[in-house]
A and B are shown apart, each in its own frame.
Chain A
Amino acid sequence: MLRFVVRRAAEAVPLLFVVSLLVFGLIHAVPGGPLSLYLENPNVRPEDIERLRRAMGLDQPLVVQYWSWFTSFVRGDWGYSYADGRAVSTRMIERIPATLQLVGVSTIAAVVVSLLTALLSVRRTHIDHVSSVLAVAGISLPVFWLGLVLQLLFSNWLGWLPSSGRTSFGDGSLSDRALHLVMPAAVLAVAHWAGWMLYLRGSLRAAMATPLPRAARARGIGEVRILLHHALRLSLLPFVTVVLLDASIMASGAVVTESVFAWPGIGSLFTEALAKRDYAVLMAFLMCSSMAVIALSFLADVVVRALDPRTRSLE
């Protein structure tokens, strides 16, 4: 196991280096830069632009800029935001809790609902039909559209839920936080629930078609017990892998959700940094996302190896 961990960690280092090169190249290839917004003000003169370009280090060749960023990043210095001059690490750290909260709650919700609906779909045809239609809708509906429709319905018309934000001003109570979380978490969960439910349902059906349930039935074991103890156990392994791999994608999917619901997480920080071409923040966000993907896929491997002895013998 230790060898496996060391090997995977060693693989991650060159991968992250390549990712950083690609990401750096790509964000600098996009037209516009941190100075673009200054141009809108007619009173910002060429001398100002040149002065700001030098102050931000943007007058250096790209290779020099990259190397300077890379060496600092490796040392743990993520630089300063072009937009507000504060340390990028500070800006990221203050936003991460909100995103973890949103992604955590929606992942749990999506997992629980996927499990329930997949199990019920296998048992009941009419539930299967309804959940299939909902799943297709969940996959097809754009997150921003669903978010706005829910806002109209639950905030503007029914007045049950706050339309956005993380808390109401002047209220930090648990119930207030929970109410604010409902819509963004639901929107984020729906898209993933749809995919996960279909995946798990397929796995369950495949498991039910193996000789194992037939043998169990022959021994007089009930259908529910067969489903939960045999089919679900067989299906959980690939399901856990998919959930872990998707959870990292969910964090990036939160970019749109956070923007629609004014959720103060790293997703909305990313949107803001993209609009301002805040290279330092963009690099930090994209590197963190890459590290999260690598870490979670690593975790998925570890879980699979822990749960399935066959994978260990493959080494």
Chain B
Amino acid sequence: MRATRFTQAVAWTALSLVAACGGSDKAAEATAGTSTSASSELLIVGYDREPDTMNRYATHILEDIQTCVIEGLVTNDEKMRIIPVLAAEIPTVENGGVIMRTDGGMDVTWKLRPGVQWHDGTPHTSADVKFTVDAMIKGDWKPESTDGFDRISSVDTPDSLTAVVHYKEVYAPYQMQFARGTLPKHVLEGRDIDKATDYNRKPLGTGPYRVVEWKTGEHVLLEKSPNYWRGAEYPKIERILFRFVSNTNTRINQLKSGEVHLVALVPWDKVRELSGASAVRLNRVIGNGYEHVTLNEKHFPPFAELEVRRALAHAVNREQIVNSMLDTLVSVVNGPIQPLSWAYEPNVRSYAFDPAKSRAMLDAAGWKTGPDGIRAKNGTPLSFTLITQAGFAIRENIAQVLQQQFKDVGVNVSVRLIDGTSISSVWFAGDFDAMLHWWQSGADPEITLFFASDRTPPNGRNINYFADDSLTRILYASDRTADQDKRKLLLQQAQRRVAELVPEIVLYNTAKIDAVPATLRNFKGNPTNAGPFWNVHEWELAPPQ
């Protein structure tokens, strides 16, 4: 009898715990089960991290969810072309949208698309552009980056669809200035934006979707906006659920079991595992980023010798890495601006795999092989530490291959793995010899912050601590040139100079691989952090066969 009561008590407690904290699920009206097929009713995205905020200007992680809700004046497409969204056209020097002032500044006139409304029905106007600039300049909240906004002196709004942005100086990347959209003046005016939880959790946008529910730790649910400016036929998918699954293996398992339908940015080492899944199509676009070995001249002075840098570049078998370790998902490249960019220069010096040449160059530079097989000069061994991110499986393996290839020419390398959060502070402090990593860039081809001699941290990302006056002059001239053709010539000159001086060993470009339902149409991917959701309004799911 006692045992029965005990069993009952345990059973009731367990049941209560299971039922506990259930509450009402706002999403419970649908009938989807554990595993479903993607349909025009519902697309489930397995997303690697929960957003910090939905405010596009304040977030410091990818803006995929926000992109579905808040549109920019422009975005960039899968070929990295800048295209207008809320702007009626892209202002350029040619169309009179950009005027150089005699005082060295410039005026950019943004013509807004007519008939666009915020989700609450309020018209989207130039007052919102002005409010956004003012809020960014005022800076009494926590926007992630004020880059570009700090060069704006004021904004005029001659009419509700025209915003004239006055820059204090020429700012070449002006076209992407409002890629993150605008802040709604009528919602945020006079408020502490950091504490505007209503906006930061459920932002008002003009995009194809609006936020229905953000269930912390679990998901964000978006549903079709009823008054989308492109017309009632857009978007074609009713609801999108972003489910937060931080563990990569779990996310891939969920994709295979059909619990989620789409996973953006599949890690490269998972591509083989997914290539056999019939319900999934892997969409690959070349990313606007490049993997390379940064050579920190300040921390390891032998890197300051040009011959050493060139010899190290010749020691690396990039084709072998790309073919055998990366399954040709990416391609060998020779510089920081990628073939996708309008500013790309293909005719630069390249460094073919040639260990004999590498050894000869090091010998000629006075780096002689010692009895231990390690080269040295004036008592300094050619021995350095290569850091890279722990847990990034492919990168860990490539670091070991590089270690072996450098050893073959008499250079000793120790590999040190550092967790993803710590490594940023390590490189920002310049506290490393060499680092295997990538830079992922936006659609604008600016590279000044990576190579200008005065842009070492904290002023930029020149973590090679590389200094070349000629290159620096060219780069700053390109930043102050709004005319794209003239700027292109300067940037091509800069790329040739970078390749000559090889401040870093460029390995290969990146690939953005997204796993999408095999039945999804019009998914195009994106090479930049604009992300694959830039054209979500066009996505369409074919009915199941």
Question: Is B243 a contact of A97 with CB atoms below 8 Å?
Answer: no
Contacts of B439 in A (CB 8 A): 42
CB-based contact A151/B253 at 8 Å: yes
Q: Which of A37, A43, A260 contacts B250 (CB 8 A)?
A: A260
**Nearest A residue to B256, CB-CB:** A156
Contact of B195 among A40, A85, A101, A271 (CB under 8 A): A85
Q: Which residues of A sit under 8 angstroms from B426, Cβ to Cβ?
A: 31
B78 within 8 A of A: no
Asked if B95 is at the interface (CB within 8 A of a chain A CB), the reply is: no
Find out whether the CB atom of A101 lies under 8 angstroms from the CB atom of B428.
Answer: no
Q: Nearest Cβ distance between residue B411 and chain A, in whole angstroms?
A: 27
Inter-chain CA distance A31–B449, complex, in Å, is 24
- What residue in chain A is nearest B427 (Cβ atoms)? A39
Complex interface: stretch among B12-20, B353-361, B519-527: B12-20
CB distance from B178 to the nearest CB of A (A): 14
Of B68-76, B142-150, B161-169, B321-329, the stretch lying at the interface with chain A is B142-150
One of B26-34, B311-319, B399-407 contacting the partner: B26-34
Residues of A within 8 A of B428 (CB): 36, 39
Tell me which of B35, B254, B423 contacts A164 (CB under 8 A).
Answer: B254
Contacts of A104 in B (CB 8 A): 13, 17
- A176 → chain B closest CB, angstroms: 8
A287 to chain B, nearest CB (A): 20
Which stretch, A46-54, A201-209, A233-241, touches the partner chain B?
A46-54
Give chain A residues whose Cβ lies under 8 Å from the Cβ of B31.
Answer: 170-171
Which of B52, B244, B457 neighbours the largest number of chain A CB atoms within 10 Å of its CB?
B52
A interface residue count range (under 10 / 10 to 19 / 20 to 34 / 35 or more):
35 or more
Q: Does B60 contact A (CB under 8 A)?
A: yes
**Do residues A169 and B250 form an inter-chain contact, with CB atoms below 8 A?**
no
- Any chain B CB within 8 A of the CB of A155? yes
A167 interfacial contact with B, CB 8 Å: yes
Contact A156 to B30, CB < 8 A, known contacts A36-B424, A47-B146: no
With A44-B144, A85-B194 as known contacts, state yes or no: A171 contacts B28, CB within 8 Å. yes
A178 within 8 A of B: yes
Q: Kindly identify, within residues 24 to 59 of chain A, every residue whose CB is under 8 Å from any CB belonging to chain B.
A: 30-33, 36-49, 51-52, 55-56
Q: Is the interface of A mostly helix, strand, loop or mixed?
A: helix
- Let me know if A49 and B458 touch, CB within 8 A: yes
Complex alpha-carbon distance, A101 and B51, angstroms: 25
Is there contact, CB below 8 Å, between B216 and A155?
A: no
Q: A38–B216 contact, CB under 8 A? A: no
Contact A156 B217 (CB under 8 A): no
Cα of A15 to Cα of B34 in the assembled complex, Å: 46
> CB of A159 within 8 A of chain B?
yes
User: For chain A residues 142-193, which have a beta carbon within 8 Å of chain B?
Assistant: 148, 151-152, 155-156, 159, 161-172, 174, 176-179, 181
With both chains docked as a complex, state the minimum distance between the C-beta of B175 and any C-beta of chain A, in angstroms. 14
List residues of chain B with CB within 8 A of the CB of A178: 18
Task: Report yes or no: A43 in contact with B442, Cβ–Cβ below 8 A.
Answer: yes
In the complex, what distance in Å separates the CA atom of A151 from the CA atom of B259?
12
Inter-chain contact B217/A148, CB cutoff 8 Å? no
Complex Cα gap A49–B60 (Å): 12
A114 located at the interface, meaning its Cβ lies under 8 Å from any Cβ of chain B in the complex: no
Within 8 Å by CB of B218, from A39, A43, A264, lies A264
B35 cross-chain contacts in A, Cβ below 8 A: 159, 162
- Give the nearest-CB partner of B459 in chain A: A46
Contact B20 A100 (CB under 8 A): yes
B277-307 residues at the A interface, CB under 8 angstroms: none
Contacts of B20 in A (CB 8 A): 97, 100-101
Q: Are B14 and A262 within 8 A (Cβ)?
A: no
Q: For window 63-102 of chain A, which residues contact chain B by CB distance below 8 Å? A: 83-86, 91, 94-95, 97-98, 100-101
A31 to B425, CA, bound (A): 7
With known contacts A95-B216, A151-B253, A163-B259, A170–B32 Cβ distance under 8 A: yes
B190: interface (CB < 8 Å): no
Q: Are B424 and A39 in contact (CB under 8 A)?
A: yes
A39-B425 CB under 8 A given contacts A170-B28, A271-B246: yes
B139 at the binding interface (Cβ < 8 Å): yes
- Asked, given contacts A36-B421, A275-B420, whether A108 binds B10 with beta carbons under 8 Å apart, the answer is yes
Is there an interface contact between B14 and A108, defined as CB atoms closer than 8 Å?
yes
Smallest distance from the beta carbon of B381 to chain A beta carbons, Å?
A: 27
Whether A168 and B34, one on each chain, are in contact in the complex, defined by CB atoms closer than 8 angstroms, is yes
Of B18, B34, B143, B246, which is within 8 A of A162 by CB?
B34
Q: In the complex the two chains form, is B243's CB within 8 Å of A169's CB?
A: yes
- B24 CB-CB contact with A under 8 Å: yes
Nearest opposing residue in chain B for A37, CB measure: B60
- Which chain B residue has the least Cβ–Cβ distance from A97? B21
For chain B residues 437-492, which have a beta carbon within 8 Å of chain A? 439, 441-442, 449-450, 457-461
- B259 lies within 8 A of A162 (CB): yes
Residues of B within 8 A of A37 (CB): 60-61, 421, 424
Q: Could you pull out 26 A-B pairs where Cβ atoms are within 8 angstroms?
A: A32-B425, A36-B421, A41-B144, A44-B145, A45-B146, A46-B458, A52-B142, A56-B142, A86-B197, A101-B18, A105-B17, A155-B253, A162-B34, A163-B253, A164-B259, A167-B25, A169-B221, A170-B27, A171-B33, A172-B22, A172-B28, A174-B19, A177-B18, A259-B246, A265-B217, A276-B52
Interface contacts beyond A46-B459, A84-B53, A163-B254: sample of 13 additional A-B pairs, CB < 8 Å, sorted by A: A32-B422, A36-B424, A95-B216, A95-B217, A159-B35, A162-B35, A165-B245, A167-B25, A169-B221, A170-B29, A171-B33, A176-B34, A260-B250
Identify the A interface with B (CB < 8 A). 30-33, 36-49, 51-52, 55-56, 83-86, 91, 94-95, 97-98, 100-101, 104-105, 108-109, 112, 148, 151-152, 155-156, 159, 161-172, 174, 176-179, 181, 259-262, 264-265, 268-269, 271-272, 275-277
